[in-house]
Homo-oligomer: A and B are copies of this chain.
Amino acid sequence: MLDVAIRHRLGAFDLAAGFTAAGGVTALFGRSGSGKTTLVNAIAGLLRPDAGRIVIGGVPVFDGAARLFVPKHRRRIGYVFQDARLFPHLNVRQNLAYGRWFAPRGAGDGIGFDAVVEMLGIGHLLARRPAGLSGGETQRVAIGRALLSRPKLLLMDEPLAALDDARKAEILPFLERLRDATTVPVVYVSHSLAEVARLATRVVVMEAGRVVAEGTVGDVLARPGLGARAGRAEAGTLLVASVLSHDAAHGLTTVDSPAGRLIVPGVAGRPGAAVRLHVPARDVMIATGPAPEGLSALNILPGTVAEIGAAAGGSVEVRIACGSGFLLSRVTQFSASRLGLAPGLAVHAIVKSVALAE
């Protein structure tokens, strides 16, 4: 659906990056100044790369060799800019509706205006002009504007950075539904591994204008060393599980995952539906000896130590084979040696239940 391979020079900065994405959410991940916005700008047509090729939905929109450059307004892209770029002379309602004026008639109904307004909590702002909006309000309107333009491709450059967690928690499920319900591919720039893990189907990791890792979320997040690259001890395991049953009274869902049966907070999906779980490595403890009892942790899975990563900053990442899958755990070096962890050792992985699902 999206195929990018370009080269572009900006002063001393040299971008030579590419990736492919076949629907779903592709996370662009990388440190400040690594070239994420530049790459996204090229996809949107705001910038004409020096060379390369960009294909959206099978249609080439840029081809350096063929001198092809489809202008931005014909690419049908919904772009949430890092700097919101609302239209100052239009009120919020008009800003939101702007893209609709230009969407072709046959573009389908797209997402409903009211649903977006409600989800973003901007109903009370509709008559206001952008100048008086708060940082978070501005960002939400920008998201709405892009969503409502019935795009064939969504580009979101740190859309949630200015938002509080409660608001994020309202918007993220919406984006998930968007990802699952429509075929619109999304390129999502974020610094937050939690967001990436939750939303992304693929992750592209950038560094100094180059793509240094690309793959499915599970692959890339579990790859040792991403922690340092992402800048935080937040690597983890991504599991695709199927819903078994709900415990509505306690607000829990039991799922079947490759690593074993897990109890997850929240009631999500009908029985049989597939859900995605992210288990941060730092939320997985290891217990040696018999299965521990009387713990508040709901999920204690038997397994064996598969691999112990290199030590970094006093801690190590341990891969535990559980069921037919793996779990990544991060423990201090001190604990690792105290517990005598070694490949082959039978252990229990203790997963704090509340750490799942996000």
Binding site for B on A (CB under 8 A): 10-12, 30-33, 36-37, 82-83, 124, 128, 132, 134-137, 140, 157-158, 161-169, 191, 193, 228, 230-234, 247, 250-252, 263, 265-266, 282-283, 285-289, 292-298, 313-315, 329-337, 339, 350, 352-355
Measured CB to CB, the closest approach of chain B to A356, in angstroms, equals 11
Copy tally for this chain in the complex stands at 2
A137-B32 CB under 8 A given contacts A231-B169, A232-B165, A352-B283: yes
- Give the most central of A140, A158, A265, A329: most B CB within 10 Å: A265
The 6 closest A-B pairs by CB, nearest first: A166-B231, A32-B136, A251-B314, A165-B232, A165-B231, A250-B334
Measured CB to CB, the closest approach of chain B to A315, in angstroms, equals 6
Contact for A354 among B124, B167, B266, B282, CB less than 8 A: B282
Can you identify 11 A-B contacts, CB atoms within 8 angstroms?
A12-B124, A32-B163, A32-B164, A135-B158, A166-B231, A169-B232, A247-B334, A250-B334, A286-B296, A287-B294, A287-B296
Q: Is the CB of B334 within 8 A of A263?
A: yes
Taking CB atoms, residues of chain B closer than 8 Å to A282 are 352, 354-355
A335-B314 CB under 8 A given contacts A82-B162, A166-B31: no
Q: Is the CB of A298 within 8 A of B167?
A: no
Contact for A164 among B10, B191, B288, B289, CB less than 8 A: B191
Taking CB atoms, residues of chain B closer than 8 Å to A82 are 135, 162
With A and B bound together, what is the CA distance between A266 and B230 in angstroms? 19
Measured CB to CB, the closest approach of chain B to A35, in angstroms, equals 8
